[in-house]
Homo-oligomer: A and B are copies of this chain.
Amino acid sequence: MTTDTTTASDCAAPRRGRPRSEAAEQAIFAAVEELMAGGTSLPELTIEGIAAAAGVGKATIYRRWPNKEALLVDMVSRMEEPLPSTTGSVRGDLVAMIEYMRLRGLAKRSRWVLKAALGQMHSSPELHAAYRERVIKPRRQAARELVRRGIEEGELRSDLDEDLVGDLLVGPILARSVLWDDSDLEDPALAVKMVDALLQGLGGPAARG
């Protein structure tokens, strides 16, 4: 999706000519953030505007990403930080993971990028795939890993499909952060409540009896 020149710096070929300017790249990222922070909606965010705001030629952007969406996905995947999954118990890790997603959904800086990429990703199949490959899949993978560990350690039921359990855990927080209002994320105890409710089940006395 993006060019390999930056990551593949250890390439054997000598790459003659003037190297790509790192400063330009940073200026582009900064311009996008600044524009979005300044109330620019996503369709209003044009390559032309980014180039102008960054003091950069349009070709300098197109040399790095084939289109606006690729640039955004690239920005998103760069913002992904490793899950802080280092806690002891599986329940604690689940809470940590959901809390992490809650905070990301709340964070002003990353929220628009998240929503943007999610929103626009349906436009083209390849972008959709790229986003799922680089952002969603790792998260689901981490969730599944956690679920597997929980099953092994007996903290989670073993008679259920791992993927299903993973989605039951991750789905609600994703829906709240992406599809609905931001106000639904403000409760600091949300992660704990969610995990506990899910672990214990929603059934009342009638169902439990």
Contacts and interface: CB of A to CB of B under 8 A. Distances in A.
B203 A203 contact: no
A104 interface: no
A204 B122 contact: no
A167, A175, A200, A206 — most chain B CB neighbours (10 Å): A175
Instruction: Determine chain A's interface SS by DSSP, over half rule.
Output: helix
A41 interface: yes
Contact of A175 (B42, B150, B167, B202): B167
A102 to B, nearest CB: 13
Interface stretch (A26-34, A76-84, A177-185): A177-185
B171 A136 contact: no
Contacts of A169: 202
Contacts of A42: 122-123
A156 interface: yes
Interface in A156-209: 156-158, 160-161, 163-165, 167-176, 178-181, 184, 190, 193-194, 197-207
Interface of A: 41-43, 91, 115-116, 118-124, 132, 136, 150-151, 153-158, 160-161, 163-165, 167-176, 178-181, 184, 190, 193-194, 197-207
Given A156-B203, A172-B171, A122 B115 contact: yes
B157 A167 contact: no
Given A42-B122, A123-B43, A170-B175, A200 B203 contact: yes
Contacts of A200: 201, 203, 207
A198 B42 CA distance: 37
Contacts of A167: 172, 175-176, 184
Closest 10 CB pairs of A and B: A201-B201, A171-B172, A154-B206, A171-B175, A199-B203, A171-B171, A119-B122, A119-B119, A155-B206, A156-B204
